Structure 1
């Protein structure tokens, strides 16, 4: 969009905003063509006919907003700085005091210090306060449609409108190429996650109610379904793994980290490598370590228990 006049730029932005507002409609049932496309995708991924029937595609919803979030990259200068606010550190310190017995018992099994476990829970879901609102079956099915040309074109338009609104400049072809690549990646991954989800929840009467983040993660520790299937552990001995229950979330996190190389007394550089398996971001790893240290120090100094 380099070289456009201010007037032309304004007119183009207005046009794109009109178009993308119309495209950003709320969720709706999948239409018949979309259901047929989804059946083809599921069959190619070796879903059984009985599973496809059980998914009840006619009763599932298309989530265009979830697709938009997945396909548009949002960069933040420092997305983790908010976790160093005094109120956050104090709350985590209180959590470490309140849950000391649970966290130390888990440390004996998995080798993960309470400060690390607590920091991850705080960063992922604010200790369970924000676990996600997106229906996970609808989300993973919707992401199959992300690779359709019409959906890619719509999201290229909305990405361009966002760039212009922010005063930036961008080439639509470059935006479209980036979005198309992301759409294929998300669609491919979501099929595997849907299968893992079904393996875990398919026999549950409330499988269709399970909710999580826009990325498809669920529970206090924000596991993808494939991680839940591979690493989920029953921490309270009730015979089930429920990542929305603190003992199970703590046990599952501990198992994940241990299986990926965490050991008691592991050197700092190895700690970082293991934590990076949880989230592929150096800033995330730094935040887990520093936040945990700050909160543990405050807890040792006698932080009050949380209300």
Structure 2
């Protein structure tokens, strides 16, 4: 019984009703942004007086002491391989490919306009939305204001970053007359279909439907904002993204891999595109995907690196690339199938006309 009561009390403390107006850092923050942006202190004090403490996000950013992990014995050599298989398993799936195709078709006009204006292919924009939120089905369940407040003022490795994000979040919600307590997002405070942080919302958000607001939950604005983000980070229209390459052996260790290291292809001995000529001649990255029985190796072009600016991970960028290519192929197949059926229908009708 005592244990049950203790659990309830712990839960209530960890989830509800912390008054941050008594926190010295928060007081300084309120004073600073009220002066900088001409906010009424009463408005800010009301927001910060009742904040749901977000334990899980704080723990993920190293703000709570973690229990020491038990040492895992290596029972088989291959157990430490296959990280790519585990990563991509639930990201690039037939269902998500189908959803991506449907999403592009549903918003075809917007995608066409955006691709023409920003030079970013529709399939890559759709792939990002698919990986980030399953096309809006999972935008996150964490209260954004409470999450950013917790991460801004509870000790963790990125306090200053989250103070900046909190300031931007308060600004954007105030500007658009949105209740800051009403929005839900990721454990880091990312918002909407494309999971933009508040600072990215400000810097790269596009009001593409011209309704006077940038809405990260509105497909038109999201499609354009993602394209703008990629273009601003150096996306090159009509250029390659990645291609698989061959090498000697099953495990690759000859050169350093990852999106941060660039190579002149001429200096990469015994490595060449696996499927013939690849029309890209600038520097490349070597991207290694650890599969259970072997390493898969790819060349990453500049556009591959640009995708890592959205999420700082080679695996993330590769999952975007592979999902995008599968969406593109499926769209091509469906388009050709439709055209073929139209031709067959027309031919059959003409034949019947002749017979009649």
TM-score by length of 1: 0.73
Structure number with bigger Rg: 2
1:30 aligns with 2:38: no
Between 255-264 and 221-230, report the one with greater CA deviation: 255-264
Kindly tell me: are residues 39 and 91 of structure 1, through their superposed partners in 2, closer, same or farther at Cα, counting changes over 3 Å?
closer
The 8 Å contact of residues 233 and 306 in structure 2, kept in 1 or not, is answered as yes
Q: Which residue of 2 aligns with 1:229?
A: 202
Deviation of the 1:283 alpha carbon: 0.4
Deviation of the 1:20 alpha carbon: 9.2
The 8 Å contact of residues 18 and 51 in structure 2, kept in 1 or not, is answered as yes
Q: Which residue of 2 aligns with 1:179?
A: none
Looking at structure 1, the residues matched to 140 and 126 of structure 2 have their Cα atoms a distance apart, in angstroms, of 19
Kindly tell me: are residues 274 and 211 of structure 1, through their superposed partners in 2, closer, same or farther at Cα, counting changes over 3 Å?
same
Deviation of the 1:39 alpha carbon: 2.6
The 8 Å contact of residues 96 and 296 in structure 1, kept in 2 or not, is answered as no
Q: Which residue of 1 aligns with 2:297?
A: none
Deviation of the 1:210 alpha carbon: 1.8
Looking at structure 2, the residues matched to 58 and 133 of structure 1 have their Cα atoms a distance apart, in angstroms, of 21
Q: Which residue of 1 aligns with 2:42?
A: 53
| Residue from 137, 162, 166 that aligns with 2:145 | 137
Summarize the alignment of residues 273-288 of structure 1 with structure 2, pairs less than 5 Å apart. Answer: 273-288=305-320
Q: Secondary structure at the match of 1:84?
A: coil
- CA deviation string 1:258-307 (max 9, x = no partner): 11111311343111111110011000110111111011111221189xxx
Deviation of the 1:215 alpha carbon: 0.9
Kindly tell me: are residues 144 and 98 of structure 1, through their superposed partners in 2, closer, same or farther at Cα, counting changes over 3 Å?
closer
Gaps of at least 5 residues in structure 1 are 1-18, 148-182
Gaps of at least 5 residues in structure 2 are 1-5, 70-81, 242-300, 338-356
Q: Secondary structure at the match of 1:128?
A: coil
Looking at structure 1, the residues matched to 209 and 53 of structure 2 have their Cα atoms a distance apart, in angstroms, of 36
TM-score by length of 2: 0.63
Summarize the alignment of residues 215-294 of structure 1 with structure 2, pairs less than 5 Å apart. Answer: 215-268=188-241, 269-294=301-326
More helix by share: 1
Deviation of the 1:112 alpha carbon: 0.6
Summarize the alignment of residues 1-307 of structure 1 with structure 2, pairs less than 5 Å apart. Answer: 23=10, 25=12, 26-31=14-19, 35-42=22-29, 46-48=32-34, 50=39, 52-55=41-44, 56=46, 57-71=48-62, 77=83, 78-147=86-155, 183-185=156-158, 187-203=159-175, 204-268=177-241, 269-302=301-334
Kindly tell me: are residues 95 and 205 of structure 1, through their superposed partners in 2, closer, same or farther at Cα, counting changes over 3 Å?
closer
Kindly tell me: are residues 99 and 21 of structure 1, through their superposed partners in 2, closer, same or farther at Cα, counting changes over 3 Å?
same
Moved over 6 A (4+): 19-22
Kindly tell me: are residues 237 and 227 of structure 1, through their superposed partners in 2, closer, same or farther at Cα, counting changes over 3 Å?
same
Looking at structure 1, the residues matched to 125 and 193 of structure 2 have their Cα atoms a distance apart, in angstroms, of 11
RMSD: 2.8
Q: Secondary structure at the match of 2:318?
A: helix
Looking at structure 2, the residues matched to 282 and 41 of structure 1 have their Cα atoms a distance apart, in angstroms, of 39
More strand by share: 2
